[in-house]
Amino acid sequence: MPLAEHLDLHGGFLLRGYGGDRGPTMLIDAVERAGLTGHGGAGFPTARKMRAVAGRRRPVVVVNAAEGEPASRKDALLTRTRPHLVLDGAVLAADAVGAPEVIVALHTGPSSVRAAISERQAAGIDPIAIKMVHVPPDYVASEESALVRFLSGAQALPTFTPPRPYERGVNGRSTLVQNAETLAHLALIARHGDQWFRSVGTPTAPGSLLMTVGGAVQRPGVYELAFGMPLSAAFDAAGGLTEPVQAVLVGGYFGAWLPAETALRVRLTPADLIAAGAALGAGVLLALPASACGLAESQRVTSWLASQSAGQCGPCTLGLPAIAEDLALLSRSGNTTNVRNRLQRRLRLVEGRGACHHPDGTARFVASALQTFAADLARHRRGNPCPPSRYPVLPLPDDPRRP
């Protein structure tokens, strides 16, 4: 959306409305009252992250639009179709924390960000410099510490923390890393206020979220849903299910499988999903048709996740391939209790033992697969595996069937 159209739709750029001595604090206060939390996966309160950076010497704001999750398309869609809303949020956040510079980090590919930055420069609306950087496509490259390290001129690999980015970020400067969608919400809070933001959602999970909905649905794509709606509303938004569904992957590849009957009833709030054994993650929902094999699907993704280890931490570098192999063994006929016990032990073994959460996320994904597809495991063991499915449901990079 071009700048003029964007301003027509959302109204004038309101940085000035938050200007003056009390200005920056006003915005952070509004974001806090709104209850905005991060939409990148961790769900950390945005205002608290902003306060940690505000007032430090020459901080940097990083827009994390480098969506590493292969099943997620929301940030790519947002930066392609609504770049100005994301940039408004970034500039507002930068002004609020006293940062003279914004860096937009994203993958190569179709993007309107560069054009949008030029438009804004020509219009002279931003008192803050915005630059754009392309991030390598690796899964862990968009992890916060890896991103900061990459933007400081090194390889995009996670680092040992502390220091956290707010303490020592890009080139040693205090850094606020925010997901692209989070900043779009922030731009709307700055325009319409925290009461408006809270007019949808629930008191404890206010606002709305973008969800990438895929699998056995009529129209796979990105949909905006209010927090608190039943998860089935996301499938309704995507035109409904195309065939009976056995399970739903919630949150993406660091998320968890839920059996269909649990998933369709659960409400879309962080607390409800955690109580059900899943998490919102980056807002991914994948409906697994009854005709697919959940074990084969999970095994394929687990092997890919193992290949995406940065190779820095032993328990991740050695543990994830071992886990992927165990899962492959279990999916074959004649799988033994031995292998299953070893896999369960290894899942516990890798948890919390990496510099980043890659091993934890992979372990959670596999553990949920073992639980949700327990009946399939038993059938496979008796030498009665699922019939091969027509095509894989879970998308991986370089897969032409990617939704």
Partner 1 sequence: MTVRLRVNPITCQAHGLCAELLPELISLDEWGYPLLSPEPVPPALMEYARRAVADCPTLALLLTED
Integer-rounded Cα Rg, in Å, for the chain is: 22
CB neighbours of residue 258 within 10 Å = 25
155 is a site residue for partner 1 (CB under 8 A): no
N-term to C-term CA, the chain: 23
45 is a site residue for partner 1 (CB under 8 A): no
Which C-beta is closer to partner 1: that of 191 or that of 342?
Answer: 342
- Pick the binder of partner 1 from 59, 68, 354, 361 (CB under 8 A): 354
Which C-beta is closer to partner 1: that of 2 or that of 311?
Answer: 311
- φ, ψ for residue 111, nearest 5 deg: -155, 145
Residues 297-316 that bind partner 1 (CB under 8 A): 312-316
CB of 312 to partner 1, least distance (A): 5
Which C-beta is closer to partner 1: that of 160 or that of 196?
Answer: 160
Q: In what order do the strands lie in the sheet with 101-106?
A: 129-134, 101-106, 60-64, 175-179
Which C-beta is closer to partner 1: that of 134 or that of 353?
Answer: 353
349 is a site residue for partner 1 (CB under 8 A): yes
CB of 306 to partner 1, least distance (A): 14
Tokens encoding 74: 């929301």
353 is a site residue for partner 1 (CB under 8 A): yes
CA–CA separation, 298 and 392 (whole Å): 10
159 is a site residue for partner 1 (CB under 8 A): yes
* Tokens 């089935």, residue located: 232
Q: Where are the alpha helices (DSSP H) in 100-231?
A: 113-123, 144-151, 180-192, 194-197
154 is a site residue for partner 1 (CB under 8 A): no
Which C-beta is closer to partner 1: that of 201 or that of 354?
Answer: 354
- Pick the binder of partner 1 from 7, 26, 318, 328 (CB under 8 A): 318
CB of 321 to partner 1, least distance (A): 11
CA–CA separation, 185 and 177 (whole Å): 15
CB of 326 to partner 1, least distance (A): 12
CB neighbours of residue 19 within 10 Å = 13
The DSSP output letter for 142 is G
| Size of site (CB under 8 A) for partner 1 | 13
CB of 309 to partner 1, least distance (A): 12
CA–CA separation, 396 and 70 (whole Å): 6
- φ, ψ for residue 138, nearest 5 deg: -60, 150
Q: How far is CA 382 from CA 16, 220, 291, 310, in A?
A: 69, 35, 19, 37
- Pick the binder of partner 1 from 319, 361, 395, 403 (CB under 8 A): 319
Which C-beta is closer to partner 1: that of 75 or that of 351?
Answer: 351
The binding site for partner 1 (CB under 8 A) comprises: 159-160, 312-316, 318-319, 349, 353-355
